[in-house]
Amino acid sequence: MPKEFRSLIPLEEAKSIVLDHAPRTVEEAVPLERARGAVLAEKIISAVDVPGFSRASMDGYAVHAADILESREDRPVRLRLAGSVPMGASADVQVAKGEAVEVSTGSMMPPGADAVVMIEYSQHEGDEILIRRPVHAGENVQAAGSDIALGEAVLFPGTRLAARELGVLAALGREKVKVRSLRVGVASTGNELVPPGRLLGPGQIYDINSYSIAAAAEECQATAIGYGILPDRKEEMSKALQEMANECGLILVSGSTSAGAGDMIYQVLDEIGETIFHGVNLKPGKPTIFGLIDGTPCLGLPGYPASALTVFGLLAAPAIQKALGLKFHGRKLTGRLARPVRSESRQQMLAVGVFGGLVYPVDKGSGSITTLARADGVIEIPADVEYLEKGDAVEVLLFGELEAPDLVVAGENSVLLEKLAETLPFRVKLLNVGSASGMIRLEDGLADLAVVSGPQKQSGGITVLKGFRRELGLIFKDARVLQDIGRSRMVGWPRNSAMRAICERVLKDQGISDLKYVRLARTHSAVATAVASGQADFGFGEKEAAEQAGLGFQFLTGDEIHFLADPAKLDDPALKSFISALQKS
């Protein structure tokens, strides 16, 4: 006797049930060339500096900036040409006072030089170089680790590896990366079905769903495994479904799901597994069935191709995306500029990020890995357009499917925030840009939360949320370096950052003002890693970063972290969950 649909569950209930039985994923290390489109399964911490050495960012001459402070067009300064540093070669020549060394874009900076004069502002005369324009220390130089610092966390689990992420991994020297994959078994049922390419007999039709559902699963970044056509014979269907359950994390089978006498899926599922629901109050999609076979979720889709794809999109796609940690959007989108853009008076493809319908420039130069890491795509600016206003509509050509974060947190870095970003069940994007830039991003609508150091005043347009206190101090491997800080090598923070200001103020109060910075870092973990690896003798950062790296710590001061938010966003679920998790930490 055929089974009857006695109770059709609502679609939302069906979604909830399917999502509660997440497919099992597999983790494996794969070469970068096989990682495109895969989902990252590990936290990527840089084991190198990018760039790995200080290098010239312009063609010209490496000099001491102090030697040419008085140079002018009509009063050039003469320097002795001491040699050159070719691309890809070691900088074997020393730059002494009154000397210059020829360099190319990307050349290693020679010892002793602290700036590069562009070749346009120089003149070669014999063994001398005439410099017609001054430069400041650091000008036209990309410092070692200025793009990505040793020990900096750059990618988190759940990130889809598209072009920019693979570029970042390559820049870090990674040959392999651990990814998360999901094998989805796909099959059609029905004695009337034959594979495309074969001659049709009486009453036969070509199998469509094996191909369309497999393609849909692949578009969700799963690996579709085809099991062909399962005949409507209980014994053979049972054997095939059992095989799929053993080999895959999710079973998708179409057809034979209704309650007629010839429909087999519900009978087989009842015998070899567990039926959780059969029948959804949905048109099309009423005969949808869901259950488990040895713990593997099995979703039975309707036989009609349009219905099968409809139910796939409603139930299977969200389950696959949840298991892999992905969210997808189209390859093109239209948004509005979050800030004005001035063009270069030529046709330009400007790298941009996208957040909440706002488009913002992230271009830090074509050679910058940071641009690659932060860009979601590019916008085209025609040559005859000199200026784009804030709020102008632009079309973004995406590098890949846009992975929209649930929450963007910009401002001060903290080990605690990194832990939350890694463990929360939704995607958090951390932008370690410092207090001032964090507040600017919040005001521009490019962040949900700004993380700031020090007390903050409540204002009409901004809500101040109390964060946490942390201990800041000196991080070291050997305590003896603290006896002579002025001579010890220090890993510091970028100029204008709150951490640099706090560090220099506290040390100045102790009579220490001459600090020997050998490198800079943007995160506390990167500070600790630089010390642990011997790149620096000591640094300034959080106690937790020192403990995490197994290093010594000397307390200097406390620090208050506060969060600033737009009052209109305080009811956002991700924001509320983040604050709640923070308060429990």
Q: For residue range 235-289, what is the model confidence (pLDDT) as tens digits?
A: 889 999 999 999 999 999 998 755 554 467 888 998 999 999 998 887 767 889 9
Report the pLDDT value the prediction gives residue 347, as an integer from 0 to 100: 57
Q: What's the pTM value of the predicted model, to 2 decimals?
A: 0.68
SS3 528: helix
Per DSSP, 120 falls in state: G
Q: 545: which DSSP letter?
A: H
Q: Which amino acid, residue 446? A: L
**Bridge partners of 77?**
131
Fold of 332-398: Beta-clip (2.40.340)
CA 463 to chain centroid, in Å, comes to 28
Q: Residue 446's CB: how many other CB atoms inside 10 A?
A: 21
Give the 3-state secondary structure of residue 218: helix
Residues of the chain with CATH 3.40.190.290: 405-585
Is pLDDT larger for residue 218 or for residue 362?
A: 218
Alpha-carbon span 97 to 126, nearest angstrom: 19
Residue range(s) of every CATH 3.90.105.10 domain in the chain = 26-50+147-180
- Between the CA atoms of 184, 190, 194 and 195, what dihedral angle is there, to the nearest 10 degrees? -10
Phi, psi of 209 (to 5 degrees): -65, -30
Between CA 252 and CA 229 the distance in angstroms is 12
Domain 11-25+182-324 has CATH 1.10.10.60: no
CATH architecture of 26-50+147-180: Alpha-Beta Complex (3.90)
Indicate where the chain has its CATH 2.170.190.11 domain(s): 55-142
CB-neighbour burial class of residue 328 (10 A; exposed 0-12, middle 13-18, buried 19+): middle
Annotation: CATH topology of 405-585? D-Maltodextrin-Binding Protein; domain 2 (3.40.190)
Contact 481, 538 (CB under 8 A): yes
For strands 223-230 and 296-301, give the pairing: unpaired
Can you read off the two tokens belonging to residue 504?
């220099």
Q: Closest Cα to residue 424, out of 579, 196, 204, 215? A: 579
CA distance 49 to 145: 4
DSSP assignment letter at 462? B
Of the listed ranges 142-156, 177-191, 341-355, the least confidently predicted one is: 341-355
Secondary structure class of 539 (helix, strand, coil): strand
Average pLDDT over residues 500-519: 91
Domain 55-142 has CATH 3.90.1010.10: no
Three-state DSSP class for 497? coil
Least confident of 129-143, 185-199, 300-314, 513-527: 300-314
Tokens matching residue 572: 């956002």
Let me know: does 227 contact 268? Beta carbons within 8 Å: no
531-578: per-residue pLDDT in tens? 999 999 999 999 999 999 999 999 999 999 999 999 988 999 999 999
- pLDDT of 399 reads 66
Do residues 223 and 230 lie in contact, with contact meaning Cβ atoms separated by under 8 Å? no
pLDDT score of 293? 95
142 — phi, psi (to 5°)?
-105, 110
pLDDT category at 203 given cuts 50, 70, 90 is: confident
Which spans in 208-277 are helix H? 209-219, 234-247, 265-272
| Residue keyed to tokens 């490496």 | 62
CB-based contacts of 138, cutoff 8 Å, min separation 6: 114, 115
* Of 440, 340, 281, 299, nearest in space to 451 by CA: 440
pLDDT of residue 369: 55
CA distances from 45 to 27, 157, 375, 390, 479 (A): 18, 11, 20, 36, 26
DSSP secondary structure string for all residues of 297-317 = EEEEEPSSHHHHHHHIIIIIH
The average confidence (pLDDT) of the chain is 88
pLDDT category at 327 given cuts 50, 70, 90 is low
Residues 192 and 203: their CA atoms lie apart, in Å, by: 6
Residues of the chain with CATH 2.40.340.10: 332-398
Task: Report the pLDDT averaged over residues 102-121.
Answer: 95
Rounded CA separation 529/152 (Å): 8
Higher pLDDT, residue 166 or 283: 166
Report the alpha-carbon distance of residue 184 to residue 551 in Å, rounded. 46
Q: What is the pLDDT of residue 257?
A: 58
> For residues 134 and 69, is the Cβ–Cβ distance under 8 A?
yes
**Which three-class secondary structure string do you get for 19-80?**
HHCCCCCEEEEEEHHHCCCCEECCCEECCCCECCCCEECCCEEEECHHHHCCCCCCCCEEEE
Gap between the Cα atoms of 101 and 110, Å rounded: 8
Reading the block at residue 335, the tokens are 């948004």
Distance separating alpha carbons of residues 337 and 351, to the nearest angstrom: 12
Least confident residue range of 357-361, 370-374, 388-392, 505-509: 370-374
Sole residue written with tokens 């629901």: 277
How far apart CA 584 and CA 416 sit, in angstroms, is: 11
Q: Quote the pLDDT of residue 389.
A: 92
pLDDT on residue 54: 93
Contacting residues for 116 by C-beta, under 8 A, at least 6 apart: 56, 57, 58, 60, 61, 62, 63, 103, 109, 135, 139, 140, 141
- Res. 142: pLDDT tops 60: yes
Judged by DSSP in three states, 291 sits in: strand
